Chains A and B, each alone.
Chain A
Amino acid sequence: MRAKSPYPYWFFLPAAVIFVGLFLVPTVASFYFSLTYWDPFEARFAGWDNYVQFFSEPFLVRGTLNTLMFAFVTSLLKTVLGLLLAVLLTSGMFAQGFLRSVVFFPVLVSTIGVGILFQELMHPTQGAINVGLEAIGIDGPGWLTNPSLALFSVALVDVWRGVGLATLIYIAGLSTIAPDYYEAARIDGATRWQLFWRVTVPLVRPATTTVVILSLIGGLRLFDLVWAMTRGGPGFSSDVLASVIYKQYQAGFWGLSTAGNVILFLLIALIVAPLAWWLNRKELDA
């Protein structure tokens, strides 16, 4: 036997028991249970039935497509707005420190609180947003009552709530770019536009990777904001996978709910893992 290491593996044990027991075991079990008719009383083997149902019932298909749409729209907006805000908030302008705090604060506020607040603000007739729009002569839409708009409204609120984190990450990324690069480019006669596209964007890539990956994972998994604002409605128009999972659980269709969970897991693995690999590889090439 080898001499005992002063860094014993059993240090992993307390964490491993909790992590394996309450996280990995349920994850592995979910693959089995997604193949069963499962309710609070029994689980009977069902083969692929739950998955067939997931991809044939229109409202379940809608939930999956909404999830992808939501994650794509929010990640894109958070990345673009986050970078622009970060550039603005590092330009040395007036009240810069205060503005950074203001943009970031919603990240820390309870999502459920934000959701209920915006539910009131987005009320079609008495909500402050439409009252404000009316004052300047615009007839505001039914943000959360119009089925083709509800998901988009929730996405806007998610961006409002999360853009501060993207900005913060970009500010940290921008601070690592040596001023020499800008200096050299300026001497070569680069315009502001060129400085942004040729210096800032390529050199801030590690931050972009983090922002894109974090926003995608968050967007695909999002539950609380949708649930607080629309409960997936009107109808099923703003349902996402996470809200479908909760609804099917509530209705006692545990097998179907778990199939939704597995689909969500596969979506995240199939989208995020290759993207993370690709973004990190490009970093090495640069």
Chain B
Amino acid sequence: MTRRQLLTGLASLAVATVVFILPFLFVLINAAKTPAEASQPSFAWPSEWHLWSNLVEVVQVRDYALLLAYFNSIVITVGAMTLLVIFAAMVGYVLQRRPTRFSKFVEFTALAGLMIPPAVVPTIWVLQQVNLFKTIHGMILIQVAYGLSFCILLFRAFISSIPRDLDEAAIVDGATPLQVFFRVILPLLKPVTLTVIVVQSITIFNDFTHPLYYLPGAENITVQLTLYNFQSQFTSQLNLLFMNILLITIPPLLVFVFFNRQIVAGMTSGAVKG
């Protein structure tokens, strides 16, 4: 490493600390304060650390709403991811293996799904017609509908690297299309499936807008909405507000630490295509 590289590194480190790290440190410091000390949030070190008692207090707010919210968010994320992986892989598989005009049309529709903003009020109207408005399973299906495009394109790209000989051998042996897909193809999709799961579950877990529209009601609260709903209640207890921010920042941080490589793969797909 040259002297120049060391110096730019140190300078960048200083700038990045102020711009990117201090805001998160601010959350941590103020999440540990007493309500009085946090009433004017600052970088002043807390006189005593109240992390644990603040955590207990924020969890108890509104009859343990935060725990319910974690439960709901996890149910929605896991449910939607299960359907997304299977359905999107099925579509990506046939799209890649059978490049007909009809497949082109389907692919174009999927691409349009990445661009078109959901028409929210008409979606509520549709959900009401089929009794899915304000229900967790309705929310799961919405997340599937909105996530399909991205997942299909990732699966399609990956399947093009799986040799056709594999499915043909199974077909010759008399396997049905479903058997070929579930026994031969799906097990080979593990790397891209992991990428899809990591990237898409962060998106669903962090989603605020769609639960706000389609999943109103105290019993349906999700993690992102806790923060929004508690905001007015916490104006005199900013320590709890910051603790809440801290609690919803931790899951993505853990995912980031363990699945950095998958996140990079998923987020840069399409960046380097010719």
Is B98 in the interface zone, CB < 8 Å from A?
A: yes
Beta-carbon nearest neighbor of B127 in chain A: A22
The segment out of B15-23, B61-69, B189-197 that lies at the interface is B15-23
Cβ of B248: which chain A residues have Cβ within 8 Å of it? 110, 113
Indicate with 1 or 0, residue by residue over A220-256, a CB within 8 angstroms of chain B CB atoms.
Answer: 1101100010000000000000100110010000100
The answer to whether A12 and B26 touch (CB under 8 A), given A19-B145, A108-B256, A249-B120, is no
Question: Across the A-B interface, how many residue pairs have beta carbons closer than 8 Å?
Answer: 249
Q: Which single member of B148, B231, B252, B273 contacts A15 (CB below 8 Å)?
A: B148
Report B-chain residues with C-beta under 8 Å of the C-beta of A171: 268
* The 3 A-B residue pairs with the shortest CB-CB distance in the complex, in nearest-first order: A94-B9, A30-B119, A172-B268
Least CB distance from B253 to A in Å reads: 7
B26 and A173 within 8 A (CB): no
**B-side contacts of A80, CB under 8 Å:** none
Cα A126 to Cα B212 with chains together (Å): 30
Contact assessment for B26 and A95 in the assembled complex, using a CB-CB cutoff below 8 Å: no
**Chain B residues, Cβ within 8 Å of A128:** 26, 41-43
- Among A110, A112, A176, the residue within 8 A (CB) of B252 is A110
Determine the interface band of chain A, counting residues with CB < 8 A from chain B.
Answer: 35 or more
CB under 8 Å from chain A, chain B span 201-220:
202, 206, 208-209, 212-213
Q: Does A26 contact B (CB under 8 A)?
A: yes
Given known contacts A22-B142, A268-B116, A272-B115, A110 and B227 CB-to-CB distance under 8 angstroms: yes
Q: Does B13 sit at the interface, judged by CB under 8 A?
A: yes
Asked if B122 is at the interface (CB within 8 A of a chain A CB), the reply is yes
- A228 touching B271, Cβ below 8 Å: no
Against B, the Cβ 8 Å flags (1 = close, 0 = not) of A74-88 are 000000000000001
Asked if residues B119 and A29 are in contact (CB atoms below 8 Å), the reply is yes
Cross-interface CB contact of B271 among A126, A173, A264, cutoff 8 Å: A173
Chain A residues within an 8 Å CB radius of B268: 168-169, 171-172
Q: Is A7 an interface residue (CB 8 A)?
A: yes
Docked-complex contact B141 and A116, CB < 8 angstroms = no
Interface contact B5-A92, CB-CB below 8 Å: yes
State whether B206 touches A111 (Cβ < 8 A). yes
Contact residues of B: prevailing secondary structure: helix
Q: Smallest CB–CB gap between B97 and chain A, Å?
A: 4
Q: List 7 A-B contacts (CB under 8 A).
A: A9-B98, A14-B83, A18-B145, A110-B206, A121-B26, A126-B41, A269-B116
Which residues from 1 to 31 on chain A have a C-beta closer than 8 Å to any C-beta of chain B?
5-9, 11-12, 14-15, 18-19, 21-27, 29-30
Q: Which residue numbers of B lie inside 8 Å of A, CB to CB?
A: 1, 5-6, 8-10, 12-13, 16, 19-21, 23, 26-27, 40-43, 83, 86-88, 90-91, 93-94, 97-98, 102, 106, 109-110, 113-123, 125-127, 130, 141-142, 144-146, 148, 152, 167, 171, 177, 180-181, 202, 206, 208-209, 212-213, 223-224, 227-228, 231, 238, 241-242, 245, 248-249, 252-253, 255-256, 260, 263-264, 267-268, 270-274
Chain B CB within 8 A of A210 CB = yes
Q: How far is the CA of A208 from the CA of B26 in the complex (A)?
A: 34
The reply on A138 being an interface residue by CB < 8 A is no
Nearest chain-B residue to A224 (Cβ)?
B208
Give B135 Cβ to nearest chain A Cβ, in Å.
13
In chain B, what residue has the closest Cβ to A220?
B117
CB nearest neighbor in A for B43: A128
Q: Are B271 and A33 in contact (CB under 8 A)?
A: no
Query: How many angstroms from the CA of A22 to the CA of B122 in the assembled complex?
Result: 9
A36 CA / B213 CA spacing, docked (Å): 21
Partner of B267, one of A169, A173, A175: A169
B271 touches A206 (CB 8 A): yes
Residues of B within 8 A of A29 (CB): 119, 122, 125-126
Contacts of B8 in A (CB 8 A): 88, 91, 93-94
**Of A21, A103, A108, A165, which contacts B202 at CB under 8 A?**
A108
Give the distance to chain B from A265, nearest Cβ to Cβ, in Å: 6
Given contacts A14-B90, A120-B41, contact A7 B97 (CB under 8 A): yes
Chain A residues with Cβ under 8 A from B273's Cβ?
Answer: 206
